[in-house]
Amino acid sequence: QVQLVESGGGLVQAGGSLRLSCAASGLTFDMYAMGWFRQALGKEREFVAAISRGHGEHYADFVKGRFSIARDNAKNTVYLQMNSLKPEDTAVYHCAADRTTTLGRISGSPYDYEYWGQGTQVTVSS
């Protein structure tokens, strides 16, 4: 059974930092591109960042220069380092897994991801 479990969310002041983790089990982790998406209350789910099997990175414009994605295949874990947080970053953050045979594949579409975690709440106060 595939499980993606996020952690590291919480309450932080504007300008602060958080590091999210997503631990994967039940799958061959290095066969998956991994992504982070977020959903704020009353809004659609939106793409945040993704990392390919080959460690290529892709970011939404609104997080470029502030967020950084990384993966550790030995630990079956993907991370999202979030710096210079803003109140508008408040959302539930979900990680997702996209099985692919292509090392360089990165997708910003949620429809390309087969597995999803339950999410972790990030709240940024002003």
| Coil/strand/helix, residue 2 | coil
pLDDT at 60: 97
pLDDT at 4: 98
pLDDT at 17: 98
pLDDT at 95: 98
Q: How far is CA 2 from the centre of its chain?
A: 17
pLDDT at 121: 98
Residue in the block written with tokens 């967020």: 67
The DSSP line for 5-19 is EEE--EEEETT--EE
Q: What is the pLDDT along the chain (126 residues), one digit of tens a residue?
A: 999 999 999 999 999 999 999 999 999 999 999 999 999 999 999 999 999 999 999 999 999 899 999 999 999 999 999 999 999 999 999 999 999 999 999 999 999 999 999 999 999 999
Beta-carbon-side half-sphere exposure of residue 9 (alpha carbons within 13 Å):
19
Looking at residue 111, what DSSP letter applies? Answer: G
